[in-house]
Structure 1
Amino acid sequence: MAVLNPNNWHWVDKNCIDWARQYFQNELTKLKIGGQDEEYFCEISKVSQVDGDCEVNQRKGKVISLFDLKIVTMIRGHVSGKLPFEGSITIPEVAFDSEVEDYQFMLSIYKENKELSEVKPLIREKLIPQLRQAFQRFGKDLLTEHGNDIQIPEQEVQSQYTKGNQHESFANANASAKRESRARDVKSDHTTCRTTNSTTTTTNVGNRTTLHVEPRFNASGDDLFLALTEKPRIMAWSRGSADFSKCSSGGIIVEGDQFGLFGGNVLCQVKKLDSTKRILEMEWKLSDWNFDGSMLSVELHESPEHHETTLQANWKGVPVGQEERVLDNFENYYVRALKITFGFGAVL
């Protein structure tokens, strides 16, 4: 990043959200508790969502990081040496001014029962503290990686004031990074490194990103799946706004069907429908997107002991800048509508 800023005096900022997504994908998937051959094992399998703001700024030589992120991680493992499970951990806010005890964690185990619930205390005791430390390292690593990009080199700065601020900013960040690096080296025998690709891609229509939400419903998995796939029920929760004119003649949508919702504001094409596994995949787009839509994958995970079903929704290919609009519409027109229409849960 080229900078023309005499003496590093003026405000300069750099958007680092793509780097943050890759950073958390790399760092958090190293975290685990137990081992594959032990009675209890849990690892972070991937980071499915990193949304919010993340940037590095400087003025008068002083470099700071500003970020406010929501992060969703997927977990998997086993209990009692053989019973596998999957789930998620949602962290609503990871911010530049968060202290180590400020982070909140929403833990979900899919298809939870009495046996699977045994892993929750272990996750809270051993995995969540690792997440807290990783989030505390992020701000320092962000400055170390990107702080130099928004300043001219220290040797080219004439002002002693800004040069002092510049030196102090990186001295503090580097010292903290070295301490964290030494701590990680001590623990390296207990972690395995795994990396995956970034969740943001660039296409001829701009950057795309992924989204992930997990609303819960007081309903069986079968009832909820029917509400999402049976045409009369779709017509009920969409307030009669569904258009099935391009669908097959049956009472349930099938693979290949195209339909519109909410007066044509949402357009869908079914790519996969598996009623046994309760999986629904479709191309999904808002009507004013002048390009191919995102892919929406819906999986239902029922927990009979808790009398509820978790709807795991994942979008791939959502245009950057449209995230809040997509999530707000999904919450208001899908989740709330399903709960109100069929009594599938309380509406806040």
Structure 2
Amino acid sequence: MALPPSTANWHWKNKNVTRWGTEWFEQELPTITVAGDSEGEVVGISSVTEVDGDIELGQRKSKLITIFDCKVVMKWEGTASDGTAVKGTLTIPEVSHEIICDRLSEFVFNWTLSTDASPEVNALFTLARARLPTALEAKLATFPSAIVDTHGKDLTISADPSRTGTPAPATSAPAPVASTSSSGAAAAAPKPKTTEKPAVNTTTVVVEADFRASADDLFALLTDEKRIPAWTRAPAQSQAQPDTAYSLFGGGVKGKYVSLTPKEIVQTWALQSPTWPSGHEATLTTTLDQSSESTKVVFTLVGVPLGKEEEIKRNIEGYYIHGFKSIGLGTEL
């Protein structure tokens, strides 16, 4: 006899997703590039050559848990300010749940340079070591949620046969059947139950940068569904209208637009990651202040869970700031 969903979801289950995880690294990490301050400088991950370790998704007491610990070896390459092609390798000895989700330790980056040294080559090597780690950490932060989104349905048993393999929907009270008393009055319908979101202690994160671009161009890059992928390197959904939903970085960030003017964008903002509280939304206000030579952009994120300030700041710098730099918009942080 089959166990009821509430009982079946209580037991420990595991799914090995190492092959899928390896392919995720091979596809996602080579999308990362950053630009330098000197004209023509650009560097990025060219390929992933080795993923050594195990990647699993587990379920215990109806909770999905990512379990992974891998060594990832990559090749990086770029172009120095004098046009020299520069190459090398990068090894991250540990990419794990403990680092990304539990924050028990920091990433370690081991670099090698294959190209003969010169002042221009050395400058690009310095650029790679200074800015690629931030972009890599931001991308790797989405790995646990990608595991859950892709494979979670295979471990959670639903009470609804039409939704086999997905979490069971919340149970609502059946529609009341109209009945009349001797006086003809209708029976009162039961009041729906409401679920309050847990309180989250929060703070504010502010990141700003100057871009050599007009405010109008930056506004379009931030809101135009067709232009967003140019700097995020991932699919996006955006209608750029108040009270419409948006999705960035392939679903890594979601929310709704609150208001949009040529100089200010206000939107709710939620990171789709196990480290972000379920159901919690912050508010991101982006201001664009154009001067004669550049536009100052200020990202103000109100409602960041306490303890996540540095992680979220790195995400904004890695995704937004360096995303713009990757398409040639010079900045000064």
Q: TM-score range by the shorter chain?
A: 0.3 to 0.5
- The two structures have a TM-score, normalised by structure 2, of 0.45
State TM-score, norm by structure 1: 0.43
| Structure with the larger helix share | 1
